[in-house]
Amino acid sequence: MDVARAASAHVRSIQVRRLGRVDYGEAHAKEAGHQRYGKTYASDAALHPGWSEASPVHLLGHSMGAGVALAYALRYQDELRGLVLSGPAVLFEGVSPLQARAVRILSALAPGLPVFAIDGTAVSRDPEVVRAYDRDPLNYRGKIPVRTAAEMARSAEQLPDRLGSLRLPLLLLHGTEDRLVPANASRLVHDRASSLDKTLRLYDGLYHEVFNEPERDQVLADLTHWLDWHA
């Protein structure tokens, strides 16, 4: 689902502006394995033409994109009016200190080394969505490079101490049965952010792609209501 387009169809005051189509195919994955997660893409976002002309600007990100959106918001929040994060990949539970150290070492020695793959069945409870996800040529279906994993972990380690500076109106959306990013990630952002206007929506039983679950209409309604209220 094109979430931004769907939301704009419900809220007349919304104009959709994007960073551009990002190709997550094999070539992109290999290139990304050698980049600094968050810092690189947040800097690219800051250069996006036309953002300064749009008012108000609400930034929406999902999963890894939500991590990038959060990094951008922490750095440039004076340019934004609000922030929406869906399943933000900013917390990794069950990783031991030894595993974290091994990832950092391997990242320095062999940044492109593949370490783990995403299980397509964890994306949604809708079989059609899973099939579309697995067949999409823009989705990299190989194992994620160790550099990407290390940079995501590094960003997550630094995040708690930075969240106190977040003052933007904030909406967090997360499925309670998300097997890719724990719902505690959204709880962490919500609890640590200094925003006076912050909302956490936890959807019982939903997986990672809350906008592509059978209950997507309810999730989209919550999003558009929040955007309408803050537009």
Catalytic residues: 63, 178, 208
**How, if at all, do strands 114-116 and 144-145 pair?**
antiparallel
- Residue with token string 């679950």: 213
Contacts of 198 (CB under 8 A, 6+ apart): 169, 170, 171, 172, 190
DSSP 143: P
Say if residue 42 is exposed, middle or buried (CB neighbours under 10 Å; 0-12, 13-18, 19+).
buried
DSSP 188: H
10: which 2 tokens? 């419900």
Containing 84, the helix (H) or strand (E) segment is strand 82-86
Measured in whole angstroms, the distance separating CA 125 from the mean position of its chain's CA atoms is 19
